[in-house]
């Protein structure tokens, strides 16, 4: 029996036509989802006058001059903006993964007074819209003299301020058998060593998930950098992209789409690299449940 046939469930009728129908429909839906992205990439290679006059994904001829224009078109090279984005995003990933996993470990495994109350409060922050805390946060960072630095974007990530990731990790840690902690305690581990030697190595899927989301959220974030960064040399790529659109003079749409296309690449690469860790799954095969 072929491997393909073995995968089939007994008693279920498989029709060739139903397969074709299903895949055609999936392709169509995928195309609808992908069209804006493909249009953006295609527009970055079109001559400027073709961008809004042709809905076709294929340019009449390939024109890569928008990339050169976009890269060098602003007062500061776009390389600088990518670097800024990279610094903020990587630090945010490191900060979120470290601090949120520590907080999650405490909520999931340690006993301390008011644990449930603190956890509820932490979850409560998920319900608050960002715009509600924006002004108090701004005043706080202003008083700390952190405006126009990366600190407001990065430091909170090291202080476990992202309740979503903490909640995600708490749920994951709760799924790791408690006997492992107990075995480690008998083996002489402190809470820190249990976290570092047992919990973290077993939590790669959730850490990878947090890393991916954290990277994407930070890389794509427009609002916070817009609020806190004033000096164009500090701009992240998302804020810098806005500079291509000028309300008074002519906008450089080609340059915008070219740089937008480049801005997608790091997120794509990051996702491809870390999603392998996601699918490995937790290896709890040392436990008999």
Partner 1 sequence: MASLTLNKIVKRFGSLQVISDVDLSVEKGEFVVFVGPSGCGKSTLLRMIAGLEAISGGELRIGSEVMNDVAPAQRGIAMVFQSYALYPHMSVRKNMAFALETAGLPKPEVEARVNKAAAILQIQNLLDRKPKQLSGGQRQRVAIGRAIVRDPQIFLFDEPLSNLDAELRVQMRVEIAKLHRELGATMIYVTHDQVEAMTMADKIVVLRLGKVEQIGAPLDLYNNPANQFVAGFIGSPKMNFLDATLLSSDETGSVVSLAGQSLRIPRGLAAVHEGRVQLGIRPEHAMLSSGDIALGQMEIVLVEHLGGNTLLYGKLSDGQTLTVQVEDQARLGMGDTVQIFANAARCHLFTGDGRAFAAV
Residues that bind partner 1 (CB under 8 A): 177, 179-180, 182-189, 193, 197-198, 201-202, 283-289
Distances (CA, A) of 103 to 24, 64, 168, 192: 46, 48, 11, 12
Q: How far apart are CA 260 and CA 45, in angstroms?
A: 12
3-state secondary structure of 35: helix
Q: In terms of CB distance, is 86 or 183 closer to partner 1?
A: 183
Whole-number minimum distance, CB 172 to partner 1, in Å?
A: 14
Residues 6+ apart with CB under 8 A from 67: 44, 258, 259, 262
- Cα torsion 109, 111, 112, 114 to 10°: value is 90
Q: Alpha-carbon Rg of the chain, whole angstroms? A: 24
Q: What b/e sequence results for 186-196 when a residue is b if at least 16 CB atoms lie within 10 Å of its CB, and e otherwise?
A: eeebeeeebbe
Q: In terms of CB distance, is 129 or 188 closer to partner 1?
A: 188
Whole-number minimum distance, CB 283 to partner 1, in Å?
A: 4
Terminal C-alpha separation, the chain:
33
Q: In terms of CB distance, is 181 or 252 closer to partner 1?
A: 181
Whole-number minimum distance, CB 153 to partner 1, in Å?
A: 33
Whole-number minimum distance, CB 175 to partner 1, in Å?
A: 13
Q: How far apart are CA 237 and CA 252, in angstroms?
A: 16
Q: In terms of CB distance, is 203 or 237 closer to partner 1?
A: 203
Q: In terms of CB distance, is 179 or 246 closer to partner 1?
A: 179
Q: In terms of CB distance, is 57 or 282 closer to partner 1?
A: 282
Q: How far apart are CA 247 and CA 253, in angstroms?
A: 12
Whole-number minimum distance, CB 11 to partner 1, in Å?
A: 31
Whole-number minimum distance, CB 282 to partner 1, in Å?
A: 8
């Amino acid at each position: 029996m072929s491997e393909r046939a073995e995968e089939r469930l007994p008693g279920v009728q498989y029709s060739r036509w139903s397969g074709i129908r299903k895949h055609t429909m999936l392709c169509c839906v995928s195309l609808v989802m992908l069209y804006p992205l493909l249009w953006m990439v295609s527009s970055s290679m079109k001559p400027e006058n073709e961008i809004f006059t042709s809905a076709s994904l294929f340019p009449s001829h390939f024109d890569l001059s928008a990339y050169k224009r976009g890269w060098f078109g602003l007062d500061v090279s776009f390389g600088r903006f990518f670097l800024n984005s990279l610094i903020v995003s990587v630090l945010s990933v490191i900060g979120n993964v470290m601090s949120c996993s520590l907080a999650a470990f405490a909520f999931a495994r340690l006993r301390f007074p008011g644990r449930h109350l603190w956890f509820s409060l932490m979850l409560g922050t998920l319900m608050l819209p960002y715009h509600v805390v924006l002004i108090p946060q701004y005043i706080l960072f202003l008083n700390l003299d952190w405006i126009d630095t990366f600190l407001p974007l990065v430091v909170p990530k090291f202080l476990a301020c992202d309740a979503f990731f903490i909640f995600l990790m708490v749920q994951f840690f709760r799924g790791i058998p408690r006997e492992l902690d107990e075995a480690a305690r008998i083996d002489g581990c402190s809470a820190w060593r249990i976290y570092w030697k047992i919990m973290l190595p077993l939590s790669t899927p959730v850490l990878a998930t947090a890393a991916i989301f954290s990277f994407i959220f930070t890389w794509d974030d427009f609002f916070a950098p817009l609020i806190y960064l004033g000096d164009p040399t500090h701009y992240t790529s998302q804020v810098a992209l806005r500079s291509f659109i000028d309300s008074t003079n002519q906008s450089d749409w080609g340059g915008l789409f070219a740089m937008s296309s480049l801005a997608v690449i790091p997120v794509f690469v990051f996702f491809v690299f870390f999603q392998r860790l996601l699918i490995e799954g937790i290896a709890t095969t040392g436990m008999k449940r």
